A and B are shown apart, each in its own frame.
Chain A
Amino acid sequence: MKFLIRSLFVSMIALLAAVPAFADLRVATSLTDLASVAQLVGGKHVTAQSLCRGYEDPHFVPAKPSLMKAIQHADVFVSVGLELDAGWLPLVLPGSRNPKIQPGAPGFVDASEGVDVLEKPSGTVSRAEGDVHPLGNPHYYTDPKNLKVVADHLAEVFSKLDAANAADYAANAKAFDERIDTSLEKWEKQIAPYKGAPVVTYHKNFVYFAERFGLKQFGTVEPKPGIPPNPRYLSDLSERMKKEGAKVVLYQPYYNPDPCNQLAKRAQGVAVKIATECGGVPGTEDVFSKFDALVSSVAGALSGRTGGSR
């Protein structure tokens, strides 16, 4: 009997602990940058969390049941869109048993809507080219201007779902846009001396940043999306880098640093770990600090002052 009473007591405590904390809107996202924008736009009316951590590869998030649990009571789910999260979201969203955030419901947001998408494949998409994104490059969040599109979109969605605070969402989005404009001027000045400089990245997830700041995407460490490099490929790429003066290799914390360091060493350049998603490296907790760190790292590497294995 004592055991039964204890069990019931423990179960009641567990159920009470399961009651989610109060917020006007509970927002979940598939990427830390989206959670950061959602929090800045939502302000005190929103609690935002990302399922993918900043140091985790957004292509390969394990579809853990705990992620389904985390969004069981969410009011809004913000997907990156363009199939970046297609490897795990189709399991996690239905697994949450939350009708409010399923695709087609008012609480489901495709954050890529309204963004000018780069590298849209023309004609037939073939996996002979690796694991290509058939709807275009989904890493648009590396261009600060695209985050303004996301912020405005989220303000609109939040206002529909929580009309009482619509004015706050609109004001927050406006403030966000202004802060991006001001910050962008600063970031552009930092990168300006290196306009046209070539950079090599592990994956093609830097093209929006390169486009915005006038850098040249020289090549990628992986020969094709999702295919790891072999020694022959790295040798050829390093030769090309030496010949054409490309000295900077950039990689995110979730990619294998070994081929990046090898490549940089052979090309007599530097390999630098960067965060293209908030939380990827320490001190990048929101999108502004992320871009501060990212711009400083890239500018530092291109200047030849900083870097890993020179």
Chain B
Amino acid sequence: MSLPRIVAVRDTCAVTFALVLAAMFAGVTCAPALAIAQPSSMFSNLANPAIGMNALFSGLAAHNLNQPYGLQFDEAEISLISVVDPYWTLTSNIVFLPDGVDPEEVWVRTTKIPSVQLKLGKIRGMFGKHGMLHTHAFPFIEAPIVMSNTIGNEGFKDPGLEASWLTPLPWFSELTGGIYQAVGPDGDHPLDLGSSRHDNVPYLGHFKNQFDLSGETTLELGQSFLQGRGTDGHRHAALGADVTVRNVPATSSNRHGWILQSEYLRKQSSIGGSTIREQDGGYASFQYRLSQLWWAGIRGERARKSFTDFVVDDAGDPVAAKVTRGSANIAWMPSEFSFLRLEYSHAKADAGIHPTDDRIAIQMSYTIGYHPAHAY
């Protein structure tokens, strides 16, 4: 009974072998014709994301710092933005630094819910005003000292979920809430939110109101709050308040205008029912646009119990101090896509081996490709 089956299998094998041979022959003979007939864009690039890059270089002359003078590469930020599907838009900013790569922001956004914007992914958390800026958009080359001592030099960046609601009030009034991954303190996150307890979900609240004082001048008020449990088991939090008055003349919006801005930030912890203020401080700055090509700015700031690069002890280790700093800069922008800035700052500290610090910095920024507009 099994013989016919074997024969049948053998027959099937022979047929298959013949077919494969024929297919190979056809493939070899027809390949050039097929290659010619193939469309040149077999792999379509029409739906590629918008791509842009910003490169930042700087030079610093600071006699208190033990570092050689010269031009240095600060970072290259590659941004990719595209619609994912009818529901989501993906934004990513990948930053290449001299010592590695940081996927600074990778998040999706939906505006499918009326009055609500939902963001999820690695987000720049909606905290404060300066913390929302990318490095090349800082108004001064160096961020205020209080930033790196409270929420991070470049703001609070953490994977999470954020929803912001545009309230029905007659002016722009936005309420944002977010929850984030528990992260311990590191170079980017001075705030300890890293408890592995299951009830530890760091959360953020932000309230922003903006009023048109006239057709050209606006007032913006913001309050921020961020809290979670730290690796030490205690509650840690950051608080912030900001006020910005901005003027953009209607008939010379790319030639004149000014921004008056002030912000206060505090980092604190709660131990045994009492709240301990760890670091806090703030700044006030004024930027003035002189012409299409020139901007100038001044800033005064103070940070308490804070660490910064020139405040060190005899062994070169950082020490906390009350630091007061004044900065002035001037920027030349030959086009919308590049600028050159020169900045001078003078600082005083009440601890460490250097009671004062003077420095001059220069920064160059170049942008290619698509660059999303900066927030107002």
**A97 in contact with B376 given A60-B254, A66-B218 (CB within 8 Å):** no
Mask, B201-222, CB within 8 Å of A = 1, is 0000000101110010010100
- Within residues 170 to 221 of chain A, which ones have a CB less than 8 A from any CB in chain B? none
Min CB distance, A87 to chain B, in Å?
5
- Within residues 73 to 89 of chain A, which ones have a CB less than 8 A from any CB in chain B? 87-88
Mask, A254-279, CB within 8 Å of B = 1, is 10100000000000000000000000
When chains A and B are docked, how far (Å) is the Cα of A99 from the Cα of B220?
25
- Within residues 140 to 184 of chain B, which ones have a CB less than 8 A from any CB in chain A? 164-166, 168-172, 174
Chain A positions within 8 Å of B220 at CB level: 65
Q: Quick check: is B112 within 8 A (CB to CB) of the other chain?
A: yes
Q: Quick check: is B82 within 8 A (CB to CB) of the other chain?
A: no
When chains A and B are docked, how far (Å) is the Cα of A53 from the Cα of B115?
25
B115–A91 touching, CB < 8 Å:
no
A130–B335 touching, CB < 8 Å:
yes
**Chain A interface, number of residues (Cβ within 8 angstroms):** 42
**A69 in contact with B117 given A64-B212, A94-B109, A254-B253 (CB within 8 Å):** no
When chains A and B are docked, how far (Å) is the Cα of A60 from the Cα of B254?
6
**Chain B interface, number of residues (Cβ within 8 angstroms):** 46
Which of A53, A90, A103 meets B250, CB within 8 Å?
A: A53
Does more than half of chain A's interface fall in helix, strand or loop, or is it mixed? loop
When chains A and B are docked, how far (Å) is the Cα of A271 from the Cα of B73?
46
Chain B positions within 8 Å of A56 at CB level: 250-251, 253
B373–A91 touching, CB < 8 Å:
yes
A64–B253 touching, CB < 8 Å:
no
Chain A positions within 8 Å of B253 at CB level: 56-57, 60-62, 254
Selected interface stretch from A13-21, A113-121, A145-153, A233-241: A13-21
Q: Quick check: is A246 within 8 A (CB to CB) of the other chain?
A: no
Q: Quick check: is A226 within 8 A (CB to CB) of the other chain?
A: yes
Chain B positions within 8 Å of A98 at CB level: 111, 114-115
Q: Quick check: is B34 within 8 A (CB to CB) of the other chain?
A: no
When chains A and B are docked, how far (Å) is the Cα of A103 from the Cα of B81?
15
- Within residues 312 to 356 of chain B, which ones have a CB less than 8 A from any CB in chain A? 334-337
Mask, B73-98, CB within 8 Å of A = 1, is 00000000001001001000000000
Which of B109, B172, B211, B254 meets A68, CB within 8 Å?
A: B172
**A97 in contact with B172 given A57-B254, A62-B253, A62-B376 (CB within 8 Å):** no
Q: Quick check: is B255 within 8 A (CB to CB) of the other chain?
A: yes
Min CB distance, A49 to chain B, in Å?
14
* Closest chain A residue, CB of each to CB of B89: A94
When chains A and B are docked, how far (Å) is the Cα of A88 from the Cα of B17?
64
Q: Quick check: is A160 within 8 A (CB to CB) of the other chain?
A: no
10 cross-chain pairs, A with B, having the tightest CB-CB distances, nearest first? A65-B172, A65-B210, A60-B254, A69-B172, A62-B248, A18-B170, A60-B253, A18-B168, A97-B115, A97-B166
Contact sample, A vs B, 24 pairs, CB 8 Å cutoff? A14-B169, A14-B170, A53-B250, A55-B250, A64-B210, A65-B220, A66-B171, A66-B172, A66-B218, A69-B171, A91-B372, A91-B375, A94-B117, A95-B166, A96-B111, A97-B113, A97-B115, A98-B111, A98-B114, A104-B86, A127-B335, A227-B334, A228-B291, A254-B253
Interface residues of A (CB under 8 A from B): 14-15, 17-19, 53, 55-57, 59-66, 68-69, 72, 87-88, 90-91, 94-99, 102-104, 127, 130-131, 226-228, 253-254, 256
